[in-house]
Amino acid sequence: MEKMRAILKEKPGRGALLVEIPIPTELAPREVLVKVKRASICGSDLHIYQWNEWARERIKPPQVMGHEFTGEVVAVGSDVQLVEIGDVVVAETHIPCMKCYQCRTGKMHVCKDMKILGVDTDGAFADYIKVPESVLWKVDPSIPAEFASVMEPLGNAIHTATVAKLTGKSVLITGIGPIGAMAVAVTKAAGSAPVIAAEIKPYRIEMARRIGADYVINPLEEDLVERVLEITNGNGVDVFLEMSGNPSALHQGIEATTNGGTVSVLGVYNGKVELDINTIVFKALTVYGITGREMFKTWHVATQMLKYKQVDLSAVVTHVLDMEEWEKGMELMERGVCGKVVLKIND
Ligand SMILES: [Zn+2]
Ligand SMILES: [Zn+2]
């Protein structure tokens, strides 16, 4: 049996291993084998590596890690219709069941019986990955592979931002990790102004500047609400995107949102967060909870934005490492001194 390289979470506990395992050759009628070109490391991959509480409950080793990738179709099952050998593809990581109420009514991204690539199945930190055709999305080969490999988190940014009208609107984004930084690029491309970023970590403050935020506020040094009101002539922002998972960012952001504005929450919080619903009522705010990406509306938008260079992700994709250097990537992420780390799996 032919072998391939794979970064394997081989047992519970901290760490993972670069090993050789058999290439998956058995394809079900609607499965596809993709040769992985680039794969990017997600926060959840770091959690699996570190073996935090979530990973301990969710992951069943041994399992190949990774879920954000781009590659080329090299083999297809007998009944595959959406892609062909040679296609350049990316993949939605939420695998919908295609049977439940949500899947049948155009809301596959909130499937009741969803599986997650690289969490419930073998992932993309390998020379080859086997996926159902239903998650694949063809991309224009002109899009740099490094950028294609981060289209999944870019999709999070697009989904979170585009539930609101953006053109000419003032936007506050709290939490400038890679997705927050991508949201800066997306809202700027959509014509939002001003785009205000709030972040406390020095590396990320710099990233917010480089990606083009009009203002960057460090809430540890300045009063976030006061500063936002000052910038917006006392009105507050039209659109607030919460991406930090920090309760005080959520509270301050809501305070800094103008009456009738939109609040879109992608951040995930440790435990319950108290919220003054009366504020939402009396300010007449529209609040969206965001999970995943719309399939495949968000992916289409991401493709167009990258193909026509509406967003430039070079300030976000800060490191491209050889697959062998994967552990260095985990270290960079642990130390918080990177944006997106992309692994070069194959040329
Ligand atoms: Zn991810
Ligand atoms: Zn479903």
Please state, in angstroms and rounded to a whole number, the distance separating the CA atoms of residues 168 and 150. Answer: 27
β-pair partners for 75: 33
For residues 101 and 139, state if they share a domain. yes
Q: How many other C-beta atoms can be found within 10 angstroms of the C-beta atom of residue 2?
A: 8
Please give the full DSSP string across 124-174, using - where no structure is assigned. SSBSEEEEEGGGEEE--TTS-HHHHTTHHHHHHHHHHHHTS--TT--EEEE
Ion ligand 1: residues, Cβ under 5 Å: 42
Domain carrying residue 184: 157-289
Single residue among 289, 308, 326 that ends a domain in this structure: 289
Q: Examine residue 302 and state whether it is found in any structural domain, yes or no.
A: no
For residues 70 and 99, state if they share a domain. yes
Q: How far is the CA of 135 from the centre of ligand 2 (A)?
A: 13
Please state, in angstroms and rounded to a whole number, the distance separating the CA atoms of residues 133 and 67. Answer: 15
Please state, in angstroms and rounded to a whole number, the distance separating the CA atoms of residues 232 and 166. Answer: 15
For residues 140 and 274, state if they share a domain. no
Q: Examine residue 31 and state whether it is found in any structural domain, yes or no.
A: yes
For residues 112 and 38, state if they share a domain. yes
- DSSP H or E segment with residue 262: strand 257-265
Q: How far is the CA of 105 from the centre of ligand 2 (A)?
A: 10
Write down the pLDDT at residue 26. Answer: 95
For residues 191 and 329, state if they share a domain. no
Q: Examine residue 324 and state whether it is found in any structural domain, yes or no.
A: yes
β-pair partners for 115: 95
Is 179 in contact with 156 (CB distance < 8 Å)?
yes
**Pick from 79, 118, 90, 82: which is nearest to 34 by CA?**
90
Q: Examine residue 109 and state whether it is found in any structural domain, yes or no.
A: yes
Q: How far is the CA of 63 from the centre of ligand 2 (A)?
A: 24
Spell out the per-residue pLDDT of the chain, length 347, in tens.
Answer: 899 999 999 999 999 999 999 999 899 999 999 999 999 999 999 999 999 999 999 999 999 999 999 999 999 999 999 999 999 999 999 999 999 999 999 999 999 999 999 899 999 999 999 999 999 999 999 999 999 999 999 999 999 999 999 999 999 999 999 999 999 999 999 999 999 999 999 999 999 999 999 999 999 999 999 999 999 999 999 999 999 999 999 999 999 999 999 999 999 999 999 999 999 999 999 999 999 999 999 999 999 999 999 999 999 999 999 999 999 999 999 999 999 999 999 99
Please state whether beta strands 286-289 and 257-265 pair in parallel, antiparallel, or not at all (unpaired).
Answer: parallel
β-pair partners for 39: 69, 343
Q: How far is the CA of 232 from the centre of ligand 1 (A)?
A: 33
Q: How far is the CA of 294 from the centre of ligand 1 (A)?
A: 15
From the number of C-beta atoms within 10 Å of its C-beta (0-12, 13-18, 19+), residue 58 rates as middle
Write down the pLDDT at residue 300. Answer: 98
**Within its chain, how far is the Cα of 198 from the centroid?**
19
Which ranges of 212-296 does DSSP label H, i.e. alpha helix?
A: 224-231, 247-255, 277-282
Q: How far is the CA of 67 from the centre of ligand 1 (A)?
A: 6
154 alpha carbon, closest ligand: 1
Tell me the CATH number at 213.
3.40.50.720
Q: Examine residue 202 and state whether it is found in any structural domain, yes or no.
A: yes
Single residue among 289, 306, 324 that ends a domain in this structure: 289
Please state whether beta strands 136-138 and 128-132 pair in parallel, antiparallel, or not at all (unpaired).
Answer: unpaired
> Which 3 state secondary structure label does DSSP give 255?
helix
Tell me the CATH number at 137.
3.90.180.10
Write down the pLDDT at residue 198. Answer: 98
115 alpha carbon, closest ligand: 2
Q: How far is the CA of 292 from the centre of ligand 1 (A)?
A: 9
Q: How many domains does the chain have?
A: 2
Q: How far is the CA of 69 from the centre of ligand 2 (A)?
A: 23
Please state, in angstroms and rounded to a whole number, the distance separating the CA atoms of residues 213 and 211. Answer: 6
For residues 138 and 63, state if they share a domain. yes
From the number of C-beta atoms within 10 Å of its C-beta (0-12, 13-18, 19+), residue 280 rates as middle
Q: Examine residue 245 and state whether it is found in any structural domain, yes or no.
A: yes
For residues 118 and 47, state if they share a domain. yes
User: What's the predicted TM-score (pTM) here?
Assistant: 0.97
Please state, in angstroms and rounded to a whole number, the distance separating the CA atoms of residues 117 and 95. Answer: 7
Helix, strand and coil content of the chain, in percent to the nearest 5, comes to: 30, 25, 40
For residues 260 and 125, state if they share a domain. no
Please state, in angstroms and rounded to a whole number, the distance separating the CA atoms of residues 92 and 292. Answer: 9
Write down the pLDDT at residue 183. Answer: 98
100 alpha carbon, closest ligand: 2
Write down the pLDDT at residue 1. Answer: 80
Give 142's contacts (C-beta < 8 A, 6+ positions apart): 307
The token pair at 317 is 């994709």
Q: Examine residue 81 and state whether it is found in any structural domain, yes or no.
A: yes
Which ranges of 271-325 does DSSP label H, i.e. alpha helix?
A: 277-282, 297-307
For residues 18 and 144, state if they share a domain. yes
Please state, in angstroms and rounded to a whole number, the distance separating the CA atoms of residues 328 and 70. Answer: 21
For residues 190 and 276, state if they share a domain. yes
Give 335's contacts (C-beta < 8 A, 6+ positions apart): none
Q: How far is the CA of 271 from the centre of ligand 1 (A)?
A: 21
For residues 135 and 186, state if they share a domain. no
Q: How far is the CA of 209 from the centre of ligand 1 (A)?
A: 23
For residues 185 and 60, state if they share a domain. no
Q: Examine residue 306 and state whether it is found in any structural domain, yes or no.
A: no
**Pick from 194, 159, 163: which is nearest to 179 by CA?**
159
Q: How far is the CA of 62 from the centre of ligand 2 (A)?
A: 26
- DSSP H or E segment with residue 326: helix 326-335
